[in-house]
Structure 1
Amino acid sequence: MAENSLSGEFRVGQELYKSIENTELASSDQLYQQDVKSAISHFRKCVELVDKLKIFSANETVEDINTSDLRFLLVEAYLGDLTTKLTDNDRMQTLNEAKLYFEQFLRNVELHEILKEEDRKFIEIQTNEVKKDTAKRREEKIARYKREKETKMKLETLQQTLLSFEDNDKEDISREHTLTLIDLFIQKSIEQLISIKQELELLDQMRKTREQSGPSPLLDDNKVETISRDTGPLLSKDGKPLRPFVITNRETIREQVFRPGWRLPTMTIDEYLEQEAARGNIISGGGQIPEKKEIDDNDERAIDEETLKAREWDEFKDSHPYGSGNRMRKG
């Protein structure tokens, strides 16, 4: 009875997963999220039942596992992939939870000797953060993409073959189909772990930036709101940004875009002078320049004083030629 319950939970979870993968609904859609949570619930029950029924033993290799039980090795892989699709929780917490599921799945397939040597080495390199040049990374990425494509094609062929075989004759094909599906999820899990690592680093950097700079005035003044902030995925599997944002105050943004590249005057010259005068920065007073007082021809004393001033000025110019005071040639 429990065995049937495990098979039933797995079948429903797997059908939901396929439906989610093929849906045209956006990941933020409420129905989409309901299906994701429902599938996660079924696979979590599978984890409990697999452990309770002791389906797998630590000393078993892949040859020792029954064909009907092999599929249950995929439970953690499904849980990891589904968890990354959640959008209503803290994103960093969601990614760390998905990371644990993927790592557990890879440990299980390695324990039962299903993990290929090339995948084991690749995981080891990623774990140790061995740096490679761009060309080498690109070659590896292309090779892994081709391998994933070939695995999917093989899976489709085996699926068609299964449909054409009688129940009594298809155990070998069914076993190969399940092992091929496990191989596909091994590749997916490795790529997901790389993507999760990149997104976690980006989220951590964003958190540190917010802590250092405080709330952004642009967000407050112009009312720019993000959708599902810190919940939905930032990056796609290809590393492309996924997080959209909506500008709710479009007029303010438009005014800031379509304006001259220089600062426009905010007051006239007269207004500026009035403000400066009010601050006491302009000295008032004065008036018209007084006319030069004419000397009376009969005032000999005044004439003598004027003549003396003129002579002193002439003597000063003779003893101080033009430029004599600028010996250092400074302007």
Structure 2
Amino acid sequence: MGERKIEDLPLPYLFEQARKIHLTATESAADQEMVKKGCEALERCEEMINKLGLFSANETKDDIATTDLKYILVPYYLAELTEKISQDDRIQILKASQAKLKEFLSFCETMELVPEEELRASSQGGPNSFAERRAQKIARFNRQRAAQAKLLEVKEQKERRGRSTRATALSTPVEAGEEDLSDDDGEEEREAWLTTISLSICKAFDLLEMLKKEEEMLSAVKERQLKEGDKEFSQAILDERTKKAEGWHRDAATRAQYTKPAAPITCATFAQDVLEGRANVSQAHDHKHQPMIFGPASLIGGNLTSERDRMAAQVFQPSHRLPTMSIEEAGLREMEIMNKWQERNAKLMAEANSAWYKDNQKVQSGEEDDEDDDAAVQKARAWDDWKDDNPRGAGNKKLTPCG
């Protein structure tokens, strides 16, 4: 900022310098000295804005001059630069940054610059469900992308108009004192600053949520440290805990031994046992599958020595029942069962249709067949006698019209 004191610099120059520092710190890493200079410049801008009375609570965005719109961003830039300050007491930095963000959002709400969706969400105390938070994030991201696209469009229009103006000036020289600024330039500048403010509002809401979560985490850690007598969680303590955990697992692998589980009885094998006579259908059949052991106990075979070792051996077990055979094995087993059924049925049919089977059946029922033949002859004779006594149509004489 040169050799001049910060108190002697004009407001537009101060703001432009602070804006450049903010851009550098946002897009790339900036040293702490530069960040602190940016914070000092922005704080001085705030003092000058309040002293000049550029903004009033009775105004809206339409009442603010185009040249003054950019100064609305001073608290937002100050909040982002404050968050980048390195300090031992991080919680104080977070609180100061959050205060500036709230100040920026409150003033934008007064100027009617905050979207209605954000106002409704803040009035309800924020979204409660995960779906509502996700919808709010998506809507905010869409507004942010639209603002970025709008800024790029305005920048391209300004560059095209500048090239056209320069070409016109070269072709038709303008007399001194006849230069006139186009109204389109003023409208583009106003639209660009309003779009920049809308983009900053989206980023401010996201940054405020992030800083709140970080403050809660740091406060919880600090409270825990106070309860444990200001014990610091150093890397050495974490390494010691890691070594203890690894040693416990090694000891558990040595102690926790297990036996290889017997082959489980599945429905297919039980059906095969029934068909081959090794089991009966009435026998009780429990589908008990011995789970596979993972973790420390899977390293060394043997028996589990205690309940503690058994529980340690069951760490990282699958939550579902593991298959006892592959799909191909199950298909082959079913095909084997069906082939045996078909062979057995074919054998039974062949026995039933064989000559010795039929002859044997006739020999066994020979006497019964003779008695059946006599009864059939007597029944046929009785039926013939009845037909002789009752000729066909004899019972229908009363139905004839001339009878």
Q: TM-score, normalised by structure 2?
A: 0.51
Tell me how far 1:137 sits from its aligned partner.
1.8
| Aligned-partner residue type, residue 82 of structure 2 | T
Whether 2:37 is the aligned partner of 1:38: answer yes
- The 5 A counterparts of 1:171-320 are 171-216=186-231, 219=234, 222=236, 259=247, 261-262=250-251
My pick for the range that moved more, 187-196 or 63-72, is 187-196
CA distance in 2, matches of 1:118, 1:152: 19
Q: Is the 8 A contact 1:80 1:98 kept in 2?
A: yes
Q: What residue number does 1:275 align with? A: none
CA deviations on 1:164-200 (whole Å, 9 max, x unpaired) are 3355341100000000000011111111111121111
Q: As a proportion of its length, which structure holds more helix?
A: 2
Q: What residue number does 1:100 align with? A: 99
Tell me how far 1:146 sits from its aligned partner.
2.3
Cα distance, 1:216–1:3 mapped onto 2, change above 3 Å? closer
1:151 pairs, out of 147, 151, 176, with 147
Tell me how far 1:106 sits from its aligned partner.
1.1
CA distance in 1, matches of 2:185, 2:22: 24
CA distance in 1, matches of 2:33, 2:152: 28
What root-mean-square deviation, in Å, do the aligned CA atoms of Structure 1 and Structure 2 show?
Answer: 2.8
1:15 pairs, out of 13, 20, 23, with 20
Tell me how far 1:4 sits from its aligned partner.
7.4
Q: What residue number does 2:137 align with? A: 141
Cα distance, 1:186–1:218 mapped onto 2, change above 3 Å? closer
Greater relative contact order, per chain length (Cα 8 Å cut-off, separation 6+): 1
- Name the count of aligned residue pairs: 228
Q: Is the 8 A contact 1:123 1:190 kept in 2?
A: no
Tell me how far 1:213 sits from its aligned partner.
2.1
| Aligned-partner residue type, residue 202 of structure 2 | Q
| Aligned-partner residue type, residue 262 of structure 1 | D
| Aligned-partner residue type, residue 141 of structure 1 | K
CA distance in 2, matches of 1:197, 1:106: 15
Q: What residue number does 1:68 align with? A: 67
Cα distance, 1:46–1:261 mapped onto 2, change above 3 Å? same
Structure 1: segments with no counterpart, 5+ residues: 26-30, 225-246, 264-331
Cα distance, 1:254–1:54 mapped onto 2, change above 3 Å? closer
| Aligned-partner residue type, residue 261 of structure 1 | R
| Aligned-partner residue type, residue 173 of structure 1 | E
Tell me how far 1:219 sits from its aligned partner.
3.3
Q: Is the 8 A contact 1:13 1:39 kept in 2?
A: yes
Q: TM-score, normalised by structure 1?
A: 0.62
Identity of aligned residues (%): 27
Q: Is the 8 A contact 2:121 2:127 kept in 1?
A: no
